[in-house]
């Protein structure tokens, strides 16, 4: 069960337990009944868990009052989730016109939204400016040029950050620091003088107010955040000395890891916040800089542990002495992470079981790819066809990365609130699947 106080250190959503019927429940909501009512595969989000993590983020960064929280929408973007996060004071980091449109459709203004990405189109930038986006994180020279023209044509002065590659790359425990990173994102520090000279002398419709960096995802280290803040602030100091402008905003990205399996041990959001705040305070003092507005943009750590996926087990195949496969009614189209990068998950049978016969099986998806394996070698309690399988930690980068591969319909999503499941994304229909076909 959940003994940890911190959501991102739990495998399961808060208040996950076996109820009196012997079924799994989350926050008083029976998962087997949810599966019966809404069918499977089904994404389930627990509002309690989501709000707890949002509150922890706010509390953890409260010692630095100039913090602005943005949710990295790429992790999970639906109107209902955006509305919940907007209501508790989060803004948004968006990367496409589709994410912007989803926000507007949910009645959320862009006055606390940052638009980043390495190849935003003219249409996307125009749409963002027309809807008064707070700022654009400009990624490259091409974008500086087209954005200035768009802003000029619209008679606007657009607030921008410059996305930089700080020379830190971090994945889980591995961490490298180099002068130059082989990354498609952002300006190398060696390109900054040219970019700033262009902005100051030619691109008069751009107002450079800050720097933006993001060093990786599913990060378990704390020291990288200290290094990141130091590098970004040293660059601000260098720009101040050379160009006589002091940038007043920094965005240090997202990246905090979560616990997918027992092997994962991410720090809590409080530990990360403390490292960042201490680093900003000490580096500002050392470099004689005003304390900047701090943007952070967590994705995975905010939503992942609040989400589970429910599947129904169908066929099985036992290869004597080698492996037993059980197949579920979803797979790589609703969760591409295992087949894309061997992501690991925990799961358990959600319905009551009379027997207690643990068995090691491999959970296969239903898609026509041998690599469509959701979980390799997991112990489940006598899995049988008809059982409901609950896969944990699917709140991030599952629905948002889902596809119609094999022309399978996209799954529905429900939100658990007040002990009940409420539909927040309808299951796609066959009519919707073919509606854009031109025959």
Ligand X SMILES: Cc1ncc(COP(=O)(O)O)c(C=O)c1O
- Residue (254 or 307) nearer to ligand X, CB: 254
Q: How far is the CB of 53 from ligand X (least distance, A)?
A: 12
Task: Locate all alpha helices (DSSP H) within 43-158, ordered by sequence.
Answer: 47-60, 79-87, 97-105, 122-130, 141-153
DSSP-assigned letters across all residues of 80-111: HHHHHHHHTT-EEEE-SHHHHHHHHHTT--ST
116 binds ligand X (CB under 6 A): yes
C-beta of 93: minimal distance to ligand X in Å? 5
The bridge status of strand 358-364 relative to strand 323-328 is parallel
Reference 82, options 60, 99, 59; nearest CA is 99
Could you tell me the smallest distance in angstroms from the CB atom of residue 91 to ligand X? Answer: 13
Give the tokens for residue 65: 């009052």
Q: Largest alpha-carbon pair distance within the chain?
A: 75
| Site pattern 83..112 for ligand X (x: CB under 6 A) | ----------x-------------------
- CB 94 to ligand X: min, Å: 10
Decide whether 277 or 408 has the Cβ nearer to ligand X: 277
What is the token pair recorded at 243?
């160009």
- End-to-end Cα, the chain, rounded Å: 53
- For the CB of residue 150, give the shortest distance to ligand X in the complex, in Å: 22
Query: Which of 14, 44, 72, 277 is the binder for ligand X (CB under 6 A)?
Result: 72
Nearer to ligand X, 41 or 253 (CB): 253
Distance between CA atoms of residues 77 and 177, nearest Å: 32
| 398 a catalytic residue | no
Separation CA 16–CA 18 (nearest Å): 7
Q: What gap in Å lies between CA 400 and CA 404, rounded to an integer?
A: 12
Of 13, 41, 186, 254, the one binding ligand X (CB under 6 A) is 254
Taking the least distance from each CB to ligand X, the nearer of 336 and 365 is 336
| CA–CA distance, 228 with 283 (Å, rounded to integer) | 11
C-alpha closest to that of 183 among 169, 200, 198, 201: 169
Q: How many CA atoms lie within 13 A of 37 on its CB side?
A: 15
User: Which of 29, 304, 368, 390 does the annotation list as catalytic?
Assistant: 368
Kindly state the smallest distance separating residue 116's Cβ from ligand X, in Å.
5
Determine the size of the site formed for ligand X (CB under 6 A): 15
Stretch that binds ligand X, among 128-136, 254-262, 266-274, 385-393 (CB under 6 A): 254-262
Residue 186 engages ligand X in binding (rule: CB under 6 A)? no
Interface map 206-245 toward ligand X (x if CB under 6 A): --------x--x----------------------------
User: Is residue 329 close enough to count as binding ligand X by CB under 6 A?
Assistant: no
Cα–Cα dist 231/209, whole Å: 17
Pick the piece of the chain touching ligand X (CB under 6 A) from 25-33, 238-246, 297-305, 420-428. Answer: 297-305
Dist CA 372 CA 366 (whole Å)? 7
Closer to ligand X by CB, 24 or 211: give it: 211
User: Which of 300, 337, 366, 410 is close enough to bind ligand X by CB under 6 A?
Assistant: 300
The 10 Å Cβ neighbour count of residue 323 is: 13
* Residue 298 binds ligand X (CB under 6 A): yes
Residue number, 116 or 268, with CB nearest to ligand X: 116
Contact criterion met (CB below 8 Å) for 47 and 55: no
Residues annotated catalytic, as ranges: 368
Catalog residues that contact ligand X under the rule CB under 6 A: 72, 75, 93, 116, 214, 217, 253-256, 297-301
């Amino acid at each position: 069960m959940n003994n940890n106080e911190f959501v991102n250190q739990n495998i399961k959503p808060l208040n996950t337990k076996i109820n009196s019927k012997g079924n799994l429940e989350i926050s008083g909501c029976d998962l087997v009944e949810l599966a019966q009512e809404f069918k499977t595969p089904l994404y389930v989000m627990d509002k309690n868990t989501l709000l707890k993590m949002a509150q922890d983020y706010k509390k953890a960064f409260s010692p630095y009052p100039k913090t602005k929280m943005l949710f990295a929408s790429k992790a999970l973007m639906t109107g209902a989730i955006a509305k919940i996060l907007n209501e508790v004071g989060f803004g948004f980091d968006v990367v496409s016109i589709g994410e912007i449109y989803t926000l507007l459709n949910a009645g959320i203004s862009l006055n606390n939204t940052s638009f980043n990405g390495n190849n935003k189109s003219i249409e996307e930038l125009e749409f963002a400016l027309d809807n008064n986006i707070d700022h654009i994180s400009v990624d490259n020279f091409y974008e500086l040029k087209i954005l200035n023209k768009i802003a000029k044509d619209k008679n606007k002065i657009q607030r921008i950050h410059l996305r930089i590659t700080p020379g830190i790359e971090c994945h889980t425990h591995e961490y490298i620091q180099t002068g130059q990173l082989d990354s498609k994102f952002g300006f190398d520090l060696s390109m900054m003088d040219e970019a700033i000279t262009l902005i100051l002398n030619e691109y008069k419709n751009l107002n450079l107010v800050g720097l933006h960096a993001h060093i990786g995802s599913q990060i378990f280290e704390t020291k990288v955040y200290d290094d990141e803040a130091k590098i970004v602030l040293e660059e601000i100091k260098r720009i101040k000395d050379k160009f006589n402008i002091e940038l007043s905003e920094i965005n240090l990205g997202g990246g905090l890891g979560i616990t997918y399996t027992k092997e994962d041990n991410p720090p809590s959001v409080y530990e990360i916040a403390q490292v960042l705040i201490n680093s900003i305070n000490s580096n500002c003092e050392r470099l004689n800089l005003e304390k900047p507005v701090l943007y952070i943009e967590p994705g995975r750590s905010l939503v992942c542990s609040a989400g589970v996926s429910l599947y129904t087990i169908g066929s099985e195949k036992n290869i004597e002495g080698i492996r037993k496969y059980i197949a579920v009614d979803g797979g790589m189209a609703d969760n591409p992470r295992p087949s894309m990068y061997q992501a690991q998950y925990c799961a358990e049978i959600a319905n009551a079981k009379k027997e207690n016969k643990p068995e090691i099986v491999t959970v296969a998806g239903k898609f026509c790819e041998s690599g469509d394996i959701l979980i390799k070698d997991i112990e489940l309690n006598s899995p049988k066809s008809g059982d409901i399988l609950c896969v944990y930690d699917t709140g991030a980068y599952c629905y948002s990365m889902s596809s119609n591969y094999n022309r399978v319909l996209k799954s529905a999503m429900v939100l658990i609130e007040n002990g009940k499941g409420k539909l927040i994304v309808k299951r796609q229909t066959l009519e919707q699947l073919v509606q854009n076909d031109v025959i």
